[in-house]
Amino acid sequence: MNKKPIFALANQSRLVLKNIIARVAELVDALDSKSSTARCAGSIPAPGTKKRVIKRAKAKFNTLFFFIFILTLFLNRNMFDFQKLEVYKKSKIFHVSCKTLILKYKFDRYVNDQLGRASFSVPLNIAEGSGKFSSKDRKNYFTTARASVFECVAVLDILSDENSISEAELEMLMKNADELSRILYVMIKNLG
């Protein structure tokens, strides 16, 4: 989502609330002038009423503006840089494909566990590596992510040899794994 329209909305809300505060101040002025001309008992506002109303209106304005600001943070889903990486997006798709395969065929428990954990490890290591500051740390996490891709390929290869999955499924997953492996390899090499 584009940030500019959200902040434009927040600025418009701020202007509207400023106008409301100004209108409340005018109403308080009108009440002051009516009460001073009427001189009825109990109709004269207490000293500082106008200031109190303005202070309350400003407090409500600040609360509402803070709420709008927090809302813009939640509406902006791409808060982290790794979520913008193409390799991260592809690794999530790869994990979902592996998970779908696991749910479809109901392999042995240890196979489900191994393939599920290995495929889940790929996007997690990419994300964690992206959060590291040193090139060495980033390289280690990207290497681990690539090794997890290899682990998935080994599990899928064995399942294919056992005729537990179709050739079409194997080919599609191998293609995705190969693409992930190549991207991660380039990322690792670029880190030195």
Q: Residues 60-97: pLDDT tens digits?
A: 667 766 666 665 655 555 568 899 999 999 999 999 99
Q: Give, to the nearest 10 degrees, the angle between helix 167-190 and helix 135-161.
A: 160
The answer for residues whose C-beta is within 8 angstroms of residue 170's C-beta and 6 or more apart is 156, 157, 159, 160
DSSP structure class, residue 39:
-
Alpha carbons 178 and 112: distance in angstroms, whole number:
21
Tokens standing for residue 36? 């001073």
Q: Residues 135-190: pLDDT tens digits?
A: 999 999 999 999 999 999 999 999 999 999 999 999 999 999 999 999 999 999 99
Q: Residues 8-55: pLDDT tens digits?
A: 555 666 666 666 667 666 666 665 555 555 445 555 556 667 777 777
- How buried is residue 183: exposed, middle or buried, by Cβ count under 10 Å (0-12/13-18/19+)? buried
Q: Give, to the nearest 10 degrees, the angle between helix 86-105 and helix 109-130.
A: 170
Alpha carbons 101 and 192: distance in angstroms, whole number:
36
Residue 187 CA to its chain's centroid (Å): 24
Mean pLDDT of 114-138: 96
Q: How many CA atoms lie within 13 A of 25 on its CB side?
A: 11
